[in-house]
Structure 1
Amino acid sequence: MTQPFLAESDVLVVGAGIVGLAHAAAALRRGRTVTVIDRDSRAVGASIRNFGHACVTAQSGDLLDLAHVARGRWLDLAGAAGFFAVQHGAVAVARTATELAVLDELAAGREQGEVRLLDAAAVRDALSAPGDARIAGGALLRDDLRVDPRQAVGSIAGWLSEQGVRFLWNTSYLEAGDGVVQTSRGMIRAERTYVCVGHDLDYVHPAEAAEHGIRRCGLQMARVAAPDGVTIAPAVLTGTSMLRYPAFAETAAAETLRAEFLATDPAVIDIDANVMFTQRPDGTIIVGDSHRYEATMDPFLDEATSDLLLARVAEVLGAGPLRVVERWQGVYAHSLTGPYLVREVADGVTAVSVTSGVGMTIALGLAERVLDRPSFSTSVPSPALHSLTKAN
């Protein structure tokens, strides 16, 4: 006797993080019936463990194009699903002449108003805090936006469900072929399947993950109580961010900046830090982060690394010791081969992973490209990749 299918739809999405939900939303907009499966009872991975920062302006090349498309989709979804999203941009804080030079170069290469240079007083106003005495100026990155990662992903899933997308939680993807996907709960028939499982691609399609060089990046992050009176509308980046994001790292001044950090603050280079922070709607501040890379990530957090990150954030704010509310380890997919992977792994089955730590920034744009171009497949580095990975 033939076993009935657990579900049948035009599109099956594996994974209910932001990459998977982006593909579900893109398919729904195109009039397709959609089923989403996830091995957990809700999203608990990289999509809820980040800053909630769509870092649009600091991308370049292909990633910048994808980020701009994604920005529009974020705003569309926030309006439809009713979750927190603010368009206050990001402030890059400069505390040295070299950091100012990086921002000057970036501003000179962008359209007027996209990167607006700020004096020290304007930066302190944006921080609503005394700020580090060394603050020399900064820049407002116009097109960046913020969401609350803990709210946004769940809200998108809830809204998609209301629109007719079927969610099957606690359901694991096992294998696929000939339009049928085998899961831990039974078979699903789908014309197209998108496997969006991030760094766990090596569990289900290990050959493709190995070919793309996917490994896990572990981050140390925390949520802290805001110092009295501190309300910060934009995301806040620092000089370490200028070593990581491609639009900064491609400037001539960035190499000098790296040398300065190695000479004056090598500890942040040792932990591959991106000292930055964003404020949640409840007033608490997400701070971080460090980066380490392994095929299998140990779960243990190093207290010295946490102390260093907290101290550097407190310096930027000009505040005393910060009171930690929560600590956690973020994990995302990383590769030196390319900033994202789109690969046909079987007939009608496409694996999609963002492998450069900018999932919240580009996922909604990448899904549009994948859905518009069914044969699209790449693992070739974008022009920005070499600068993006200099810190790694």
Structure 2
Amino acid sequence: MPHSQSILIVGAGILGLSHAYAAAKRGFKVQVFERTGTPLGASVRNFGQALVTGQPPGEMLDLARASRSIWAEWSRHASFDLKRNGSYLFARTEAEEHLLETFCQGRAREYDYRVELLRGVELNTLYGGQFSHHRAALHGLDDQQVYSREAIPALVKYLQRELGVEFHFSTLVRDVEPGLVYTTSGRFRGAQVIVCAGHDYLTLLAEPLASLNPQTCRLQMLRVRPKIELNLKHALLTGLSCVHYGAFADLPQAAAVQAEILRDSPHLDQHGIHLLVSPTPYGDLIIGDSHDYSRDPSPFNGERVDNWLLQLCEETLACEVQVVERWQGVYGARGAKPFTCLEVEPGLSAALMQTGVGMSVGPALAEAHIARLLTL
């Protein structure tokens, strides 16, 4: 493909920006089209956690590890804050502790997850003893975290300034064909069109996307302020996450954790609730999440779900919190695979996530997709 030709990308979320970076650094002219004036979708509503530890062995773990390096490069060049000190996953019960212990002794060694299990003195001195009421903490050393509301716009500016990517914001893409994009600002031609439209399955490529039977996942999220001086510097999870993340969920010991949830807190299972906590640069915490799967995301939040999340948060942090903001995150979900790179026709493809780990694997996924397109 001649470098003089443009690659046209629909969508300025993490997948769209990752594709723009992968193409532009290879010397291609890149144009990105986004219907809103700034990215407002899942990529800025999320926790900003780029997790390696939670990914299952195989392709997803490989992509997360490769993405980790890309995030480090982006933070240097785009000048946004990237926490590279890992995450803590707290075991609250004996079953959760046993699962983490088994993971460390088996899968972590076999697949070289960089983790350490903190107990005793190490746990009791963590953050001055703030988390000593837990049984153990799995420190995922390779996990990273950004403040998405600032990191995504900073990445846009970097791509514009340093790599010459041209952005068309407030521009609706009405239709696409191989090498052609029809927008509210006119028609654009390029060598490749790549659609990264998030969970919008109807505006573009509706027929080929329908064959994937796509759904959406709606999650309730909050920004809270601790009522103590916590100064949290790590992303936090609990043993509840072990039944959601592939690194742990298929281990035999996960069955005991799931049984415990069903016995003691069936409402958490019913609403897909497990706690994620992400610190912002300003002392606040982003917390969630819940999982509500449907073809179309409901606009209505359940107050009980927020209350359960707040309860989990306060139990985990051992302090009260004050709610500052509430919102919904929505992303594509429940495909046959965690993601799909769909080659519709020569010169026209789509990339979509079907699970909520776009920040964790998206950068490297786009690298692989661009490399493959350039060989066609």
TM-score range, shorter chain: over 0.9
Q: Which residue does the alignment assign to 1:387? A: none
- Offset at 1:206? 1.7
Q: Distance in 2 between matches of 1:74 and 1:342?
A: 21
Distance 1:327 1:376 in 2: 45
Q: Does 1:82 align with 2:79?
A: yes
Distance 2:166 2:45 in 1: 25
Asked if 1:55 is matched to 2:56, the reply is: no
Measured after TM superposition, the shift of residue 123 of structure 1 is 3.8
Could you tell me how far 1:358 is from its partner in structure 2?
Answer: 0.3
Contact map agreement 2:278 2:287 (CA 8 A) in 1: yes
Aligned counterparts of 1:213 and 1:129: Cα–Cα separation in 2:
47
Which residue number in structure 2 is paired with residue 160 of structure 1? 159
Paired position in structure 1 for 2:371: 372
Amino acid at match of 2:7: V
Name the CA distance, whole Å, in 2 between partners of 1:338 and 1:94: 29
1:30 is the counterpart of 2:36: no
Task: Indicate whether 1:225 and 2:230 are aligned.
Answer: no
Q: Deviations over 1:299-319 (max 9, x none)?
A: 111111100100111001111
Are the structure 2 counterparts of residues 15 and 312 from structure 1 closer, same or farther at C-alpha, using a change threshold of 3 Å?
A: same
1:12 and 2:11 correspond? no
1:94 aligns with 2:91: yes
Q: What's the counterpart of residue 186 of structure 1? A: 186
The two structures have a TM-score, normalised by structure 2, of: 0.94
Give me the whole-angstrom Cα distance separating, in 2, the residues matched to 1:43 and 1:87: 24
The one-letter code sitting in structure 1 at the alignment partner of 2:351 is: V
Does residue 110 of structure 1 match 2:108? yes
Structure 2 residue aligned with 1:149: 148
**Residue-by-residue CA offset, 1:81-106 (whole Å, 9 max, x unaligned):** 00010111111100112111221222
Partner Cα separation in structure 2 for residue 98 and residue 204 of structure 1: 46
Alignment partner of 1:297 is 2:284: no
* CA distance, structure 1, for counterparts of residue 201 and residue 125 of structure 2: 44
Structure 2 CA distance, aligned partners of 1:331 and 1:187?
A: 29
What CA deviation, in whole Å up to 9, does each residue of 1:312-344 have, x standing for no partner? Answer: 110011113x20000000000002311001101
**Distance of 1:198 and 1:85 partners within structure 2:** 24
Instruction: Tell which deviates more after alignment, 225-234 or 256-265.
Output: 225-234
Do the aligned partners of 1:91 and 1:123 also contact (CA within 8 Å) in 2? no
Cα distance, 1:142–1:294 mapped onto 2, change above 3 Å = same
Change in 2 beyond 3 A, CA 1:103/1:170: same
After superposition, the C-alpha distances for 1:270-310 in whole angstroms (9 at most, x for unaligned) are 21012120100001000111110111111111111100100
Partner secondary structure for residue 316 of structure 1:
helix
Over 3 Å counting, the alpha-carbon distance change for 1:35 and 1:126 in structure 2 is farther
Contact residue 12 and residue 192 of structure 1 kept, 8 A:
yes
User: Is residue 262 of structure 1 aligned with residue 288 of structure 2?
Assistant: no
Give the aligned length.
368
Q: Which residue of 1 aligns with 2:322?
A: 323
Q: How big is each residue's C-alpha offset from its partner over 1:90-136, in whole Å with a ceiling of 9 and x where there is no partner?
A: 11100112111221222122246711010155345445563373x11
Gaps of 5+ in 1: 1-7, 378-392
Corresponding residue for residue 200 of structure 1 = 200
Give the counterpart letter for 1:93 in structure 2: F
**Percentage identity across aligned positions?**
34
1:208-246 Cα deviation digits (max 9, x unpaired):
222112111000000001232202222111011111010
The offset of 1:201, in angstroms, is 2.8
- In 1, Cα distance between the equivalents of 2:120 and 2:195? 46
Q: What is the CA-CA distance between 1:77 and the residue it aligns to?
A: 0.4
The reply to whether residue 241 of structure 1 matches residue 246 of structure 2 is: no
Q: Cα 1:213–1:296, aligned 2, differ >3 Å: closer, same or farther?
A: same
